[in-house]
Amino acid sequence: MESIKHKFQGPAFIMFVLYILTTLSISIFWEKGTFLLWLNDRHNIYGDVFFKYVTFLGDGLMYLIVAIIFLFYSYYNIIILAIIGLFQTILVTIGKRWIFNYPRPKSFFEDSAEVFNFVDGVKVYGAHSFPSGHTASAFAIATLLICLTKNKLLQVIFMLAAILVAVSRVYLLQHFLMDTVAGALIGMFSAGIVWWYFSDKRTSLLYDKSKLHRGLLVK
């Protein structure tokens, strides 16, 4: 099994670093909401449809979908996925509801919200903006999938999907750019630390239980 150190040297995680550096720079040097307003001015019918549906890749339901897929190949991966999901959810909830409790774009720009380009069929929320839970979920799942595959192309696709979820959250006026940066870091950290713990630090805790490495299709 490849170590987490080796995985972090792959092209997918280079993409992650470039994404974080770019978005963090924009968030720091641009006034809050500037990128969101810039992106909102560029709404079009194709972007509306694309981001309306790609954002579901960061929905909590994705954990269930991935778990069902794992069910056929490895019960162990379901356990790891569940631990990651719980860890990530706790971190997002603590930040979003107990520490920061920042307003979302709809409330932040309440006086001028009527000029925004909203996407039909998307409910836009007004509270608990930081960090982005959808982005955290997308990056957590993507990180786990990257750790589980050796195919570099698949790794890049998983990371690209997570980045597109992050962009969708800003496009749909659900979050500011910095919210998605924090979400991406939380997602990556949650999956990375859990994967490292069970693959490098405490391999005997679950890896010695051979029954967990089976699935409905793998005996």
C-alpha to C-alpha distance for 141 and 90, rounded to whole angstroms: 15
C-alpha to C-alpha distance for 166 and 134, rounded to whole angstroms: 8
pLDDT (tens digit per residue) in 94-137: 998 888 889 998 888 877 666 788 898 888 888 889 999 999 99
Model pTM score: 0.89
pLDDT (tens digit per residue) in 1-40: 455 556 666 889 899 999 999 999 999 999 988 999 999 9
Confidence bin at 215 (pLDDT 50/70/90): low
pLDDT (tens digit per residue) in 78-96: 989 999 999 999 999 999 8
Confidence bin at 55 (pLDDT 50/70/90): very high
Confidence check: pLDDT of 204 > 60: no
CATH, range 4-202: 1.20.144
Whether residue 36 contacts residue 43, with contact meaning beta carbons closer than 8 Å, is answered with: no
The residues spanned by each domain of the chain are 4-202
- Across the range 148-155, mean pLDDT stands at 90
**With 0-12 CB in 10 A as exposed, 13-18 as middle and 19+ as buried, what is 163?**
buried
3-state SS assignment for residue 84: helix
Whether residue 187 contacts residue 135, with contact meaning beta carbons closer than 8 Å, is answered with: yes
Confidence bin at 211 (pLDDT 50/70/90): low
